[in-house]
Structure 1
Amino acid sequence: MSGKDESIKAEILAEAKKLFIHYGWGKTTMEDIAKAAGKGKSTLYYYYKSKDEIFDEVVTNEMDEMFRALQEEVGRVHTAEEKLIVFGLTNFKLLQNRTILGKIVLREISANIPRLVGLSRQYQRKEINTVRNILILGLEKGEFAGYTVDDVDAIAFSMTCALRGLKVGLIIEDRYADLESRIDILTNLLLRGLKA
């Protein structure tokens, strides 16, 4: 794909993102996106087969940006314990600051559960792998004694699910002010078990 094509796609996605945030997935049409991007519908259909495809790409791009930022923050600290704390806090802060995911997840979850679940699974696999690598680092450095390498996959999955459950609760209750204290509580509980 040429640079011009990439530029046109970026324009389409930027305008679609604004519309999804403002009107939601259900009320945004391909015609709305074409008009907002200053393109004809035929141009829009040349690059994207459907609104679903545009939505998926908008959300996937947002998740990729979030994951890169998460990896950067985790990479700034050195111990496995610090990495787990930073992983939890940064995960929540990124979601809080990302308008498309926060707003769309709240508004569209019931109407689009299959689509959001599929996209969410992609992101969760990345999160689990990150936590898994942190746990292996903790084992290698002797920071954690409460588990063996055979337990790493199950622990990474469980920790990611625990953080996700906390994330959903805070979003639903709109309690972002409690973020750091709740993350500290959860992380301390998890770390005590890992060190035992």
Structure 2
Amino acid sequence: MSAKKDDKRDAILQAAAQCFSRFGYDKTTLQDIGDAAKLNKASLYYYFRNKEDLFVQVVLLEAERYLGALQEQVQPLMRATDKIVAYLTGRLEYYRQVLNLHQLSIENLQRLEPMFDDVYQAVRGQELAFLGELLSEGVTDREFLKLQPERTADALLTVADGIKHEAVQRARTRFAHEVDYAPVQEKLTYTLTLLLNGLKK
């Protein structure tokens, strides 16, 4: 893609992010996004298949930015355990913010879930590498027993995602942003601490 096309695509993503934030996913139309990007609606189809595709790309961009910043934010913590817990609970906070920002209904969240798998897989590799580094650091610093960093990172991410998804699935609300994440955060922190303590020397 040429630099000019990249610039236009970035402008569309920025406009879409603003519209989704302002109106919520359900109420945002491609016309709104086109107007915000100063393009006609038909032009958007040159860059994106539909509103869902555009939304997924916005979320992917946001995820990469947020999780990258979160990784930097936890680095000053002293122990690997603290870094891992802070990262995975911060990740849950990001998820909550996305749902709040875009005002997704539970129904749309479930409908879009297969598309979010693409986002998840794109980001998961980076997350596994980061958590693997933290776990290796913990082994080197004699905080953890010898372990397989990649497999352990995968297990921790799976547990964190399971707790998050359970909360949304059990929610008795229409909108995902109405889910009370305080008990979820508490459960995640407790579970991660329990698991990581089991890895300690």
Same fold (TM > 0.5): yes
**Which residue is equivalent to 1:194?**
199
Q: Which amino acid aligns with 2:161?
A: R
Q: CA RMSD in A?
A: 2.9
Say whether 1:178 aligns with 2:183: yes
Unaligned runs of 5+ residues in structure 2 are 172-178
**Which residue is equivalent to 2:175?**
none
Shift of 1:134: 0.9
Per-residue Cα deviation, 1:69-94 (whole angstroms, up to 9, x for no partner)? 22112212132112112112211222
Single out whichever of 87-96 and 102-111 deviates more from structure 2: 102-111
Matches within 5 A, 1:1-196: 1-2=2-3, 6=7, 8-20=8-20, 22=23, 24=25, 29-48=29-48, 50-99=50-99, 103-104=103-104, 106-145=106-145, 147-148=146-147, 151-172=148-169, 173=171, 174-195=179-200
Unaligned runs of 5+ residues in structure 1 are none
**Alpha-carbon distance in 2 for matches of 1:13, 1:100:** 19
Shift of 1:9: 3.4
Identity of aligned pairs, percent?
A: 25
Query: When the two structures are superposed, what TM-score results if normalisation uses the length of structure 2?
Result: 0.77
Secondary structure (helix, strand or coil) at the match of 1:98 reads: helix
Query: When the two structures are superposed, what TM-score results if normalisation uses the length of structure 1?
Result: 0.79
1:132 touches 1:153 (CA, 8 Å); kept in 2?
yes
2:80 touches 2:134 (CA, 8 Å); kept in 1?
yes
2:20 touches 2:102 (CA, 8 Å); kept in 1?
no
Shift of 1:139: 0.7
